Amino acid sequence: MKTIAVLNGPNLDRLGKREPEIYGSKTLDDIASELRANFPKASFTFFQSNHEGMLVDKLSELAEADCDGVIFNPAAYSHTSIALRDAISSCGLPVIEVHISNIHARERFRHHSHTGSVSKGVIAGLGTEGYLLAARSLLDLR
């Protein structure tokens, strides 16, 4: 059984309540339920933090754990965090970056992702379906 970690960055604890016109009405719990229902032969662990250092620490922990890949929505940190970029680069795990909104159709400062440049792939603009696509991709890796 493959183990996939799902990491979520700042403000995603408010998913379903915060700007539903951009991010939709699903919560992180809804996403977790969908992942488990769609991929019953995989094991998922979930972590959310509004604090950059805690996300860096979690990537370091996962590098030493029995983890096969990471779905990561770094949220606004993707545009600002060299520390998260370095943590992804050094963890040795395949990471698929997910953004619920299309970051390229939003404010100019959101168009660049430091973390995306060291991720195996980036999925943006497909809503929470992006998490399912990322899981499928990680589970299909050989």
Residues with active-site annotation: 23, 99
Give, for all 142 residues of the chain, the pLDDT tens digit. Answer: 799 999 999 999 998 887 777 777 799 999 999 999 999 999 999 999 999 999 999 999 999 998 999 999 999 899 889 999 999 999 999 999 999 987 776 668 666 788 999 999 999 999 999 999 999 999 997 5
Phi, then psi, of 84 in degrees rounded to 5: -70, -35
Q: What fold, for 3-140?
A: Rossmann fold (3.40.50)
Structure tokens at 66: 């029995």
Query: What pLDDT is attached to residue 96?
Result: 98
**Residue 7's closest CA among 77, 86, 104?**
77
Q: Which residues pair with 70 in a beta bridge?
A: 5, 95
Distance CA 41, CA 138 (A): 13
Query: What pLDDT is attached to residue 80?
Result: 86
Provide the phi-psi class of 63: left if phi over 0, else alpha when psi is between -120 and 50, else beta.
Answer: alpha
- The residue ranges of every structural domain in the chain are 3-140
CA 99 vs CA 57, 61, 71, 73: distances in Å = 21, 23, 10, 6
